[in-house]
A and B are shown apart, each in its own frame.
Chain A
Amino acid sequence: MSTEEKPKDYSESPINLEYFYTAGSATTRFLNQVKEGKLVGQACPKCKAVYVPPRGSCPRCGVATNIEVPLTDKGCIESFTVVHIPIPGNPIVPPYVCAMIRLDGSNISFLHLIQGVDIQEIRIGMRIQAVWKPKEEWTHSLENIKWFAPIDEPDIDVATLRFKES
């Protein structure tokens, strides 16, 4: 059998599926608070770990995280990367920084953008705070936060952020 393929020897198979995504109760509670400009994590009743954004269950204990914990919008950078390719549909100009943001009081980090700082200055442990969009533009989304920017506070030693079993 010949191994040569004729040019264009393929079938186009586009697939389009429509869904109506429904957020679960944990996500709904979280995003309802984000709409008001507040970041509220959820804690596990057993090990007390605080999760933001919360998924409704603690992976350490396998139980529902039914305790709400209001958090500030300040934290530190747990890790980061400098991205040189643009985000489709987003006006942000590369190079830009994506970082794992560890909010004060939370036990996990989440992904967001860093702006307002020289890329060379960015480091693990750097103190940062959310820069919000104008209140009129707030929706049920973490995009209410445009990005995180550095604040003038001493760096955090991320080793101290390690979870301690209570």
Chain B
Amino acid sequence: MSDHKDLLRAPFELGYTYKRSNGPVMSKFFDGLGEHKILATKSSAGKVFAPAAEFDPDTHEALNDLVEVGPGGAIESFSWIEKPQHHHLVKNPFAFALIKLDGADTSMLHMVANCNESDLSIGTRVTASWSSTQDKRITDIQFFTLET
């Protein structure tokens, strides 16, 4: 039988380029980021979903009433990463966090950076820090930082 002890291995990179249609609600959200605004949607019951959600997950109501929230809010949970992996967008120690923005009833996942682990706990207030480039993506908010 031929030799198969030396494994054949080869690195490869899988790349996809997608252009996703935003739809009427999210396109307004991403336009809002361009104006340094964080937009949410409000249900007929008055519940505010941030970032702007297209449907209420509990009642299935279609949402298109947009309201501004934040840019500050309180941390609902966080996970501190001392050693970011190479695919992480922040290269220094940072946290992923669920942030309940002022005026919202749901929390938003994003990153918290430019601080120390000891600065963060549930309830810590943070505020959006904007990227210098505006690409109509969630990363137009570069991360959140401690509210001073």
Contact = CB atoms under 8 A, between A and B. Distances in A.
Interface of A: 1-2, 5-6, 9-23, 25-33, 40, 66, 68, 140
Interface in B65-105: none
A29 B3 contact: yes
Q: Is the interface of A mostly helix, strand, loop or mixed?
A: mixed
B7 interface: yes
Q: Which of B1, B4, B19 has the most CB of A within 10 A?
A: B4
Contacts of B136: 11
A67 to B, nearest CB: 9
Interface stretch (B21-29, B39-47, B120-128): B21-29
Contact of B20 (A6, A10, A30, A33): A10
A53 to B, nearest CB: 13
Interface of B: 1-4, 6-22, 24, 26-27, 30, 64, 135-137
7 contacts: A1-B64, A2-B24, A9-B21, A9-B22, A13-B19, A20-B10, A30-B2
A139 B117 CA distance: 50
B111 to A, nearest CB: 18
Contacts of B16: 14-16
Contacts of B26: 11
Contacts of A29: 1-4
Nearest to A25: B4
5 nearest A-B residue pairs (beta carbon):
A29-B2, A23-B8, A28-B4, A13-B18, A25-B4
A20 B9 contact: yes
A19 B15 CA distance: 11
A6 B15 CA distance: 28
B19 A12 contact: yes
A19 B22 CA distance: 30
Contact of A16 (B6, B14, B24, B27): B14
A20 B12 CA distance: 6
Contacts of B4: 25-26, 28-29, 32
A2 B23 CA distance: 11
A15 B18 contact: yes
A18 B3 contact: no
B21 A19 contact: no
A28 B10 CA distance: 12
Given A23-B7, A28-B7, A15 B21 contact: no
Contacts of A5: 21, 27
Contacts of A1: 24, 64
Given A11-B22, A16-B16, A28-B4, 12 more contacts: A9-B22, A11-B19, A11-B30, A11-B136, A12-B17, A13-B19, A14-B18, A19-B12, A21-B9, A25-B4, A31-B8, A32-B4
